Amino acid sequence: MLALVGEAGELAELFQWRREDEAAPGLPGYSAKDRGAVEEELADVLLYLIRMSDVCGIDLGAAAAAKIAKNAAKYPAERCRGSAAKYHTYQEMRTEARQQKRGREEVAAEGEAGKEDKKEEEQ
């Protein structure tokens, strides 16, 4: 575990203090030597990750596929695309929408009940 964290730290160090344009997709601001270092650290992280999942008896491919499916349910693309908000924000929005809908239905039901009461009073 410590080896995995150490390698992740070595990878992070290669991105620390880099400008956004340098570390953009494809790493346009990196020299061939720096790109090679990133390649090696990514490989180190992957190898330790595979080793750790093997020691734990976890099918890493299946775990990754399950997590992707879970994230897809948590972060529906049509609501989340382009947003970095946490999943509870979307849940809160859904809850508020339900409460507003329920509130409208209750108000409508109260209105109907009020009409019934009035009819009874008039009779």
Q: Give contact residues for Mg ion (rule: CB under 5 A).
A: 7, 10, 44
CB 58 within 8 A of CB 24: no
Name the closest residue to Mg ion (Cβ): 44
The tokens for 16 are 């620390």
Minimal distance, residue 94 CB to Mg ion, in Å: 43
Closest CA to 18 of 31, 8, 34, 29: 29
Minimal distance, residue 3 CB to Mg ion, in Å: 9
Minimal distance, residue 31 CB to Mg ion, in Å: 18
Q: Which is nearer to Mg ion, 34 or 44 (CB)?
A: 44
Dist CA 81 CA 53 (whole Å): 31
